Amino acid sequence: MRDSHEWTPQAIQAEIDALRHKPGALLPILHAIQDRIGFVPEGAVPIIADSLGQTRAEVHGVISFYHHFRTAPPGHHVVQVCRAEACQARGARALEAHAKDRLGVGYHQTTPDREITLEAVYCLGNCACGPSVRVDDAVRGRVTPEAFDALVDELRTQPLEVIA
Amino acid sequence: MSVRVFVPRDTTALSLDADAVADRLRREAADRGLELTLVRNGSRGLAWLEPLVEVETAAGRVAYGPVAPGDVPTLLDAGLLEGEGDHPLALGPTEAIPYLARQQRLTFARIGVTDPLSIADYLAHDGFRGLERALDLTDQDIVEEVKASGLRGRGGAAFPTGIKWQTVLDTPADQKYIVCNADEGDSGTFADRLLMECDPYLLIEGMAIAGLAVGATQGYIYLRSEYPLAKEILDAAIARAEAAGYLGDDLRGSGRAFHLEVRLGAGAYICGEETSLLESLEGKRGLVRFKPPLPAIEGLFGRPTVVNNVLSLAAVPFILAEGAEAYADHGMGRSRGTLALQLAGNVRRGGLVELAFGTTLRTLMEDFGGGTASGRPLRAVQVGGPLCAYLPEHQWDLPLDYETFAEVGAGVGHGGVVMFDDSVDMAEQARFSMEFCKVESCGKCTPCRIGSTRGVEVIDRIRAGRDRDANLALLGELCETMEDGSLCAMGGMTPFPVQSALRHFPDDFRRAPEGDRS
């Protein structure tokens, strides 16, 4: 995952300009910004609003409506635990309690070392092999509490960069 | 030629280490000087056997599964590349695996068989025959064919697809749209995902046919953001289909145009509701619209729009290629064709089961599913997603068809079947139904927005043992208000799982409160 959540108005504008010609461009633009810098900064709102000829309130309203868009930088990795029925039937309630306990954070919070942001998700479409967890873009199936711990250890093991 | 070995790459197989299996196979084969061609196919939908590795032999494909990376050396020792059967994971010829052999795969005939992105594979397995035929028919003839098939919306509402198409065809406009609802948010459903990841050209073909039928030149696939792999596969498939003339300005030299684009949702369950989806596509908050006007008359950007579920559109190529009758020959009553059932939750053999309408839940859960994964007795099953009822054992022998299920206050929905064993607390499940509605309500109408919050509170009081009788009566009234007064199915159907839990599992609401139990 990205290590920096730095952004500039120029970077935001570039994402907008690449997509503004599309009908209904706002969601694609918000996705592009979040994919690039990890979140949608508050400072992006007036730039988007001006570019699309909308009010700041309209843009803010869209950002706040959708669970996917976040307005603060996440940790290095985003871990989503499925809370929906099919995973509940396979122990998701115990898994989510374990995940919060192990990471020491609740949903929508980031661990103090900035490594992991914990999120809830309602279905990852892996319902025959639950409980499921999504780490960044990879889904994991049949995640026991032990498997969750191993996953977290793996995420926290930083690869050392050797400078030649 | 070297032996072809298939290792699936759909989300489920990948979630169970399929990439590591593929890597290990490649390395072990190289170390042993063995030649193999690795094909990353889609999944056959037999989730319980994933990763399901297949080997092509002179006698057809043979299967091994579920394969862990560490199984690869012993599999190769036992003659995997020759398709030998002397290994605990050997399953014999893939097509003879009873779970697969007993299905009626019309829509899902190709999943797992082909490389999802290979147009050559798609064509070799009857792909694009429906589109080629549609290009020779008039728009009205295509609509007639879909009407005659009896196809009804597979997203859950079961509205006749042909009638919807007729309305769009009959509404004059400068621009019309085909919108595919791929916001598969119901827990327990994964058929749309499987189809998009494992056979993306089928959806593309179905949408192109829909475009020809109603005179729409632009299509959108509204895909949920929880499906990043499906996005990647669809984007790649669309680019290849354009290059091959199956999409674009001139479909196969006909002079007819159809363009297609994937748009990502953003984690809002409500956007599976068609008018909310259209708002979202227009770049707005996903607030539900009042109906009328119907989207077929005033839909996306105010233009006539076909909004169909992935599976409705994916059923169309078969109907055009084989004829409406071939499709309508399957099924019972007014439910024609096949239903993609998805066995999920606490199930030993979960996966996709495509069958003609009319099977019973018991057959599905026992013969196919093999009972619970935990080995404990089955207690409840939620069919059709989080807005549909929980069914107790005495309803497991009903035939699965839209009308029969509606008669008992249940729904077939999108075909998800979520099984629970006897450790389930149905009062807790009822609470979750209300909580989910509270999280996902778009907020436009009061019964849904406020009712769901109050619903959580009332169920909490009941579970805590406070004024139980009065609160149970209140919950009953609240459910009625939500059902009668909500603008769409979100608030209107959230009561169904709650009421079914109350009706069929009343004891769970009268247990001693937590902490009071010894």
Q: Is residue A4 predicted with pLDDT exceeding 80?
A: no
- Report yes or no on A49 lying in a domain: yes
**Are A148 and A85 part of one and the same domain?**
yes
- Report yes or no on A142 lying in a domain: yes
**Are A57 and A90 part of one and the same domain?**
no
- Report yes or no on A103 lying in a domain: yes
Q: Would you give per-residue pLDDT tens digits along chain B (518 residues)?
A: 689 999 999 999 999 999 999 999 999 999 999 999 999 999 999 999 999 999 999 999 999 999 999 999 999 999 999 999 999 999 999 999 999 999 999 999 999 999 999 999 999 999 999 999 999 999 999 999 999 999 999 998 999 999 999 999 999 999 999 999 999 999 999 999 999 999 999 999 999 999 999 999 999 999 999 999 999 999 999 999 999 999 999 999 999 999 999 999 999 999 999 999 999 999 999 999 999 999 999 999 999 999 999 999 999 999 999 999 999 999 999 999 999 999 999 999 999 999 999 999 999 999 999 999 999 999 999 999 999 999 999 999 999 999 999 999 999 999 999 999 999 999 999 999 999 999 999 999 999 999 999 999 999 999 999 999 999 999 999 999 999 999 999 999 999 999 999 999 999 999 998 766 54
- Report yes or no on A2 lying in a domain: no
Q: 3-state DSSP call for residue B148?
A: helix
Q: How many domains does chain A have?
A: 2
User: Hunting for tokens 């909308």 — which residue is that?
Assistant: A54
- Report yes or no on A98 lying in a domain: yes
- Calculate how close chain B gets to A63, using CA atoms only, in Å: 8
Closest residue to A122, CB basis, from B193, B269, B286: B269
Q: Is there a contact between B226 and A124 if contact means CB atoms under 8 Å apart?
A: yes
> Strands B53-57 and B60-64: what pairing?
antiparallel
Q: 3-state DSSP call for residue A157?
A: coil
**Are A15 and A60 part of one and the same domain?**
yes
- Report yes or no on A136 lying in a domain: yes
CATH code assigned at A138: 3.40.30.10
Q: Provide φ and ψ at B352, rounded to 5°.
A: -95, 130
Cα B243 to Cα B240, B249, B251, B255, distances in angstroms: 5, 11, 11, 15
ipTM of the complex: 0.95
Q: Is there a contact between B345 and A23 if contact means CB atoms under 8 Å apart?
A: no
**Are A53 and A93 part of one and the same domain?**
no
**Are A82 and A25 part of one and the same domain?**
no
Domain containing A37 equals: 9-65
A147 touches chain B (CB under 8 A): no
Are B397 and B368 spatial neighbours (Cβ–Cβ below 8 Å)? no
Cα A144 to Cα A31, A112, A147, A155, distances in angstroms: 32, 24, 5, 17
**Are A85 and A135 part of one and the same domain?**
yes
Which of A65, A96, A112 marks a domain boundary?
Answer: A65
**Are A100 and A40 part of one and the same domain?**
no
- Report yes or no on A109 lying in a domain: yes
Q: Is there a contact between A90 and B345 if contact means CB atoms under 8 Å apart?
A: yes
A121 touches chain B (CB under 8 A): yes
pTM, 2 dp: 0.97
Closest residue to A86, CB basis, from B16, B282, B345: B345
**Are A33 and A102 part of one and the same domain?**
no
CA proximity to B230, closest of B207, B204, B269: B204
What is the tens place of the pLDDT at every residue in A50-89? 999 999 999 999 999 999 999 999 999 999 999 999 999 9
Q: Is there a contact between B436 and A122 if contact means CB atoms under 8 Å apart?
A: yes
Contacts of B231 (CB under 8 A, 6+ apart): B223, B262, B264
Which neighbouring-strand residues pair with B184?
none
**Are A97 and A150 part of one and the same domain?**
yes
**Are A53 and A120 part of one and the same domain?**
no
**pLDDT for B518:** 47
- Calculate how close chain B gets to A44, using CA atoms only, in Å: 16
Q: Is there a contact between A86 and B187 if contact means CB atoms under 8 Å apart?
A: yes
**Are A90 and A133 part of one and the same domain?**
yes
Q: Is there a contact between B11 and A89 if contact means CB atoms under 8 Å apart?
A: no
Closest-approach residue (CA) in chain B for A88: B345
Are B180 and B132 spatial neighbours (Cβ–Cβ below 8 Å)? no
Q: Is there a contact between A66 and B266 if contact means CB atoms under 8 Å apart?
A: yes
- Report yes or no on A54 lying in a domain: yes
**Are A109 and A82 part of one and the same domain?**
yes
